[in-house]
Homo-oligomer: A and B are copies of this chain.
Amino acid sequence: MPRRVDPDERRGHIAAALLRIAAQEGLAAVSLRTVAREAGVTSGAVQHYFPSKHSMLEYAMHAASGRYESRIGKRMAALGERPHPRDAIWVLLSALLPSAEPEAEDARVGLAFQAHAATHDDAAEHLAEGNARLRAHLAGLIRASNPAHPEPAVAATLLLASAEGLAVQMLSSGLQLDDAQTALELQLVVVVDAS
């Protein structure tokens, strides 16, 4: 049976199955066997591509943040050449909210990994990198939108945290999308155009 195969495609296929399970039933439901079944392969195949469960989780984590960043990229591109920085900020932040199904799944996964990272330092490192990049990007956009802003770095931290906080509350406490979006809009007005 062994045709020549692209191993990264296979790994991606398995990681996608893992992320589906994590999104729907939580990281606790992720095991070699459940992932294998969801991916439609045997657990031997999973073992063939990942030497350990840990490495599989790691790979899936990177895949998830990759998906998120590429979605951002697409939406940014859709804004056209030289968009208003405020629009760019909105795209960045609202992409964190679980709205339609594709991004809702990613948000669920994100929350699961954040909780995981709170007790596993190696995972935390990766999240810290991503957040630092996002914060820096945001700070730049804030500066572009309001050159007189007194503290773009603090504002960026705040924007990022409130978007993530709204997302968490939507997923865990029944906050509605409309309310979250309204709050996020208020946040933009009030922080970006700060005195």
Q: Is the interface of A mostly helix, strand, loop or mixed?
A: helix
Asked if A158 contacts B183 (CB within 8 A), the reply is yes
A45 to B: closest C-beta gap in Å: 25
Note all chain B residues with C-beta closer than 8 A to A127: 172-173
A120 within 8 A of B: yes
Asked if B111 contacts A115 (CB within 8 A), the reply is yes
Asked if A168 contacts B169 (CB within 8 A), the reply is no
A114 within 8 A of B: yes
Determine how many copies of this chain the complex contains: 2
A168 to B: closest C-beta gap in Å: 6
Interface string of A99-112 (1 = CB under 8 A from B): 00000000010011
A128 to B166, CA, bound (A): 13
Contact (A128, B174) CB under 8 Å given A26-B118, A190-B190: yes
Asked if B172 contacts A166 (CB within 8 A), the reply is no
A162 to B162, CA, bound (A): 4
Chain A residues at the B interface, C-beta cutoff of 8 Å: 23-29, 108, 111-120, 124-125, 127-128, 130-131, 151, 154-155, 157-158, 160-166, 168-169, 171-175, 179-180, 182-184, 186-187, 190-191, 194
